[in-house]
Amino acid sequence: MTDYYLAPMEGITGYIYRNAIRDYFSEGVKKYYTPFLVVHEKRAMSSKEINEILPENNRGINLVPQILADDAKGFLRIEKSLKEYGYKEVNLNLGCPSKTVAGKGRGSGFLERINELDDFLYEIFKSRVMNISIKTRIGSKSTEEFEILLGIFNKYPIHELTIHPRIRYEYYIGTPHRDIFYEGFKGSVNPVCYNGDVLSENDVEELMQGTKGELKAVMIGRGMLRDPSLIRRLSGGEPYSKGELKDFLKRIRMDYTQVFSGETQVLKKMKELWGYMGADYAGKDSVVKNLMKCRSLSEYKMLEQMLLSE
Ligand SMILES: Cc1cc2nc3c(=O)[nH]c(=O)nc-3n(C[C@H](O)[C@H](O)[C@H](O)COP(=O)(O)O)c2cc1C
């Protein structure tokens, strides 16, 4: 049996989106990850970050908070406060490729500073108060870095190592290096989860072949944004009906309307989702285009209705 997880996606898979997935498409979703919480030297979590992890905003959701850090003390400080909220697993982000993060030596930027990374892992595993899982890329500048990285990861009791088989400078483009993932899968002493470009049953079958049927966990991001019933389908369930998608999107829209003061931000969030979902509406691409350009929620609702009419 494969476990499926909803990937962390900054600005998208926040608690509003997660709650809607829980209510409409939770079948088969074993774990949900928060977008990264940033360790700040001088202050604790921001109110936005606290809202992300508050148990009352995540009822019925098996949530793993993710931390972005390169300072062990800061990591352990947040980890401790997460324990007070009742969490049992925390995830370390070693994958973010964005300039503002990696450029400062965090996320996938940390993969370039091997010795510091090793020291950091030593410190956090020595003093941890809960399970620590890691989400990593396979290197920064070259895929050849992965062998050394895996050697470091193997020194620590990582609860689960999620491997996104791209290097930092590949961002989210091109084909993931699945051959290197398979090597990592074989060579890891810790449990491994796959992440990257899973969009269909064929993708999962290919991963199963490459791991001799031993892969236990797959994390999915963009595939779920494009089709929120993807994990349900992979778990033997039905694809979404248009009515279901309509209710799901309405729920998200209503919840964003509660937290944002004007409709501009709500509209931006809904368009962001259609930026992924639109790929499955090839026959209606002019409607998708108009939706992406529309300037009011009333116009948005009309265009959404055109897309989702049976
Ligand atoms: C807009 C966006 C935001 C993301 N935010 C995060 C994040 O906060 N933490 C993280 O570990 N990965 C983040 N990712 C990476 C995804 O979790 C995932 O690794 C990536 O999209 C590849 O998986 P997929 O092909 O299934 O989407 C983000 C990706 C995108 C496109």
Structural domains of the chain, count: 2
**Atom 8 of ligand 1: nearest residue by CA position:** 35
Cβ of 203 closer than 6 Å to ligand 1, yes or no, is: no
pLDDT recorded at residue 264 = 97
- Residue 50 and residue 187 in one domain: yes
Using the 3D structure, point to which of 234, 259, 294 is the last residue of a domain.
234
Write a three-state SS string for 71-133: CHHHHHHHHHHHHHCCCCEEEEEECCCCHHHHCCCCHHHHHHCHHHHHHHHHHHHHHCCCEEE
pLDDT < 50 positions in the chain: none
Ligand 1, residue 36: give the atom nearest the CA. Answer: 8
pLDDT recorded at residue 42 = 77
In the chain, the amino acid numbered 280 is: D
Helix (H, G, I), strand (E, B) or coil at 136: strand
| Tens-place pLDDT, residues 234-288 | 999 999 999 999 999 999 999 999 999 999 999 999 999 999 999 999 999 999 9
What CA–CA distance (Å, rounded) separates 176 from 194?
Answer: 11
Cβ of 10 closer than 6 Å to ligand 1, yes or no, is: yes
- Residue 19 and residue 76 in one domain: yes
Using the 3D structure, point to which of 201, 234, 267 is the last residue of a domain.
234
Using the 3D structure, point to which of 218, 234, 250 is the last residue of a domain.
234
Q: Residue 18 C-alpha to ligand 1 middle, in angstroms?
A: 15
- Residue 229 and residue 253 in one domain: no
What is the domain range of residue 281? 242-308
- Residue 215 and residue 253 in one domain: no
pLDDT recorded at residue 12 = 98
What CA–CA distance (Å, rounded) separates 96 from 110?
Answer: 10
pLDDT recorded at residue 1 = 83
Residues near 306 by beta carbon (within 8 Å), at least 6 away in sequence? 284, 287
Write the DSSP assignment of 231-295 as a string of letters. HHHHTT-PPPPHHHHHHHHHHHHHHHHHH-SSHHHHHHHHHHHHHHHGGG-GGGHHHHHHHHH--
Report residue 18 as tokens: 């997660």
Cβ of 135 closer than 6 Å to ligand 1, yes or no, is: yes
- Residue 227 and residue 150 in one domain: yes
pLDDT recorded at residue 300 = 98
Cβ of 68 closer than 6 Å to ligand 1, yes or no, is: no
- Residue 123 and residue 168 in one domain: yes
- Residue 224 and residue 84 in one domain: yes
**Atom 28 of ligand 1: nearest residue by CA position:** 9
Cβ of 164 closer than 6 Å to ligand 1, yes or no, is: yes
- Residue 168 and residue 247 in one domain: no
* Best of 31, 172, 194, 197 for a ligand 1 pocket test (most atoms within 8 Å of beta carbon): 172
Q: Residue 298 C-alpha to ligand 1 middle, in angstroms?
A: 30
